[in-house]
Amino acid sequence: MTAQPRGRRRGNPDTRAAILAAARERFAASGFGGTTIRSIAGAAGVDPALVHHYFGSKDDLFVAALELPVDPRAVMAQQVVGPLEGAGERLLRALLGVWDDPQVQPALLAMVRRLVEPGGDALFREGFLPVVLLPLGQAMGVERPERRMPLVASQVIGVILLRYVVRAAPLADWDADLVVATYAPVLDGFLAGPLP
């Protein structure tokens, strides 16, 4: 499940770029579930084995196609996975650590904008949710992650929008501790509290 370290991504850069372009086009058109490595290889005009050689699993290829400066699964596995107690705080701290990094933020903003564009719904629903969010919920021992993790996402995305996209006070001005103090209880409720 972990992404290949960059150092091991050898091979023809044109071939890699063609595979990534085909992957983005296929994932956008058919969603994550409806896309096969074989169909991406066909669209890129390469052998499926070459796709696996360059990118690993379909999950890995999906994350690579997001063109994020960090692999969200690696960040989550290192900083968020652990007991359910305190999970809301760990999740927020990992998220703020990545988003508050000025090197990383522009690519994340671009991803949020893609999400809201027509067609971006499949990117979230059939890609980011099953590849990143649900495995994270399972790794934290969340009960019924398919129901709880979207609720977590509904609060996290709103914090991201107010703090980083529209940059509204007070969220845009608060330090990480204030954001964590405000939202960790909400996330803990969604992760482990009673569901309606």
Provide the binding-site residues for its own copies, judged by CB under 8 A: 112-113, 115-117, 120-121, 123-125, 129, 146-147, 150-151, 153-159, 161-162, 165-171, 178, 181-182, 185-186, 189, 195-196
Tell me whether residue 69 or residue 119 sits nearer to its own copies (CB atom). 119
**Whole-angstrom distance, CA of residue 132 vs CA of residue 183:** 21
Q: Quote the least distance from Cβ 179 to its own copies, whole Å.
A: 9
State the minimum distance, in angstroms, from the CB of residue 129 to its own copies: 6
Query: Cβ 128 to its own copies, closest distance in Å?
Result: 9
Nearest distance from C-beta of residue 176 to its own copies, angstroms: 12
Number of Cβ within a 10 Å radius of residue 150: 16
Compute the least distance from the CB of residue 119 to its own copies, in Å.
Answer: 11
Q: Tell me the residue length of the chain.
A: 196
- Tell me the C-alpha distance between 77 and 92, whole Å: 14
In the bound state with its own copies, the residue whose beta carbon lies nearer, of 38 and 147, is: 147
Nearer to its own copies, 138 or 154 (CB): 154
Beta carbon nearer to its own copies, 70 or 157: 157
**Of 97 and 150, which has the nearer Cβ to its own copies?**
150
- What is the sign of the dihedral through the CA atoms of 111, 122, 126 and 189? positive
Alpha-carbon distances, residue 40 vs 46, 66, 67, 146 (angstroms): 9, 15, 17, 27
Q: What burial letters (b/e) apply to 18-42, b meaning 16+ CB within 10 Å?
A: bbbebbbebbbeebbeebebebbbe
